[in-house]
Amino acid sequence: MDFFNLLSALQSLTTVQRIAVTAIPMILAITVHEAAHGYAARHFGDMTAHHLGRISLNPIRHIDLVGTVIVPSITMLVGGIFFGWAKPVPVNFMKLRHPKRDMLWVAAAGPGANLAMAILWAIAMQFARFLPEYAAVPFALMGVAGILTNTILMVLNLLPLPPLDGGRIAVSLLPNNLAIKYAQIERYGFIILILLLVTHILDKIMWPFVMFTLQSISAVFF
């Protein structure tokens, strides 16, 4: 089972087929990502998401019509890097036991969960060989979609741009005076991200890191 041959097969599917294969992995990736933030925040002392019922693996609690359904579908139609989001799990960083330090771990929990999910999909794909061909091929393609989607979400969220997780991590690591100034970028963060997306600069920034991760997973599991 060659991972990159399967990846090419996934990309050669029609748009409808690709959406069908990618839908479940994408919803799981976004759900687990947001739930991980909530679990981490609760672990470090912030009960906001817990009290609002947002610490859940129920996808319905995290799905955003625009970010989880419409935008990802459009990016698949027009090509380019996958892009989407869920309803953010509310975190009050000031309620963390050590706000500046713990912010790093809460932010890192989401991308960390995506990396774990990518690895779990790679492990699950090993069982495709025991399935009949009519089931093995769709399952393997879904596994590839799971690895790709989680890898892209991990890399995207690690970009050091507030309010992305990488931006939160950068704010946590910077000295206080620089952290305050850097955090102010957040009000423009989404606009900057959209500009990077539509100009395809985002693809050029992310793709080397995405490919490195995919090659690493392929080397270990395939």
Active site residues: 34
Give the whole-angstrom CA distance, residue 37 versus residue 48.
Answer: 11
Query: For the stretch 183-193, what's the b/e string if a residue is b when 16 or more beta carbons lie within 10 angstroms of its beta carbon?
Result: bebeeeeeeeb
CB 82 within 8 A of CB 18: no
CB neighbour list of residue 152: distance below 8 Å, 6 or more residues apart: 81, 82, 206, 210
**211, 215, 203, 208: which is closest to 82 by C-alpha?**
203
How many angstroms separate the Cα of 167 from the Cα of each of 50, 51, 69, 160? 24, 26, 25, 4
CB 11 within 8 A of CB 81: no
Give the whole-angstrom CA distance, residue 202 versus residue 125.
Answer: 29
Q: What is the dihedral of CA 180, 181, 185, 186, to 10 degrees?
A: 10
